[in-house]
Amino acid sequence: DSGVTQTPKHLITATGQRVTLRCSPRSGDLSVYWYQQSLDQGLQFLIQYYNGEERAKGNILERFSAQQFPDLHSELNLSSLELGDSALYFCASSVVQGRQETQYFGPGTRLLVL
């Protein structure tokens, strides 16, 4: 158990809908990362937050947005869903030791868009 929690574990929805994925980082971790794992794209970085502020952005679609709240939990919002958004979405939080950072991943949310 990494200490990172994600809810829900599974989500089935229809095209055009909007969903929210939730992540709670490990106690004390200030950074939260979101990744998408799909069969065709593999594991791709979406976005990073550090202590409530957006720090880095990857290949995140405009239909997707995220935020990190004062209690450090994060939410990833996916809207106008398409079939191709079906994927496993991971959240990770990181511990920094000096200049070295290690990310620990949650169990993922498996999204199926029908």
Partner 1 sequence: AQKVTQAQTEISVVEKEDVTLDCVYETRDTTYYLFWYKQPPSGELVFLIRRNSFDEQNEISGRYSWNFQKSTSSFNFTITASQVVDSAVYFCALSFYNQGGKLIFGQGTELSVKP
* Residue closer to partner 1 (CB basis): 1 or 14: 1
Identify which of 43, 41, 42 has the alpha carbon closest to the alpha carbon of residue 33. Answer: 43
Smallest separation, CB 80 to partner 1 (Å): 25
Q: What is the DSSP letter of 84?
A: G
Q: Is 30 one of the binding residues for partner 1 (CB under 8 A)?
A: no
Structure tokens at 49: 């937050």
Return d(Cα 79, Cα 56) in angstroms, integer.
21
For the four alpha carbons of 103, 35, 67 and 1, in that order, the dihedral sign comes to negative
Return the number of other C-beta atoms located less than 10 Å from residue 108's C-beta.
18
Q: Is 10 one of the binding residues for partner 1 (CB under 8 A)?
A: no
* Residue closer to partner 1 (CB basis): 96 or 114: 96
User: Which of 16-24, 39-47, 66-74, 76-84 is the region at the interface with partner 1 (rule: CB under 8 A)?
Assistant: 39-47
Q: Which residues bind partner 1 (CB under 8 A)?
A: 2, 31, 33, 35, 42-45, 48, 50, 55-56, 58, 88, 90, 92, 94, 99-108, 110
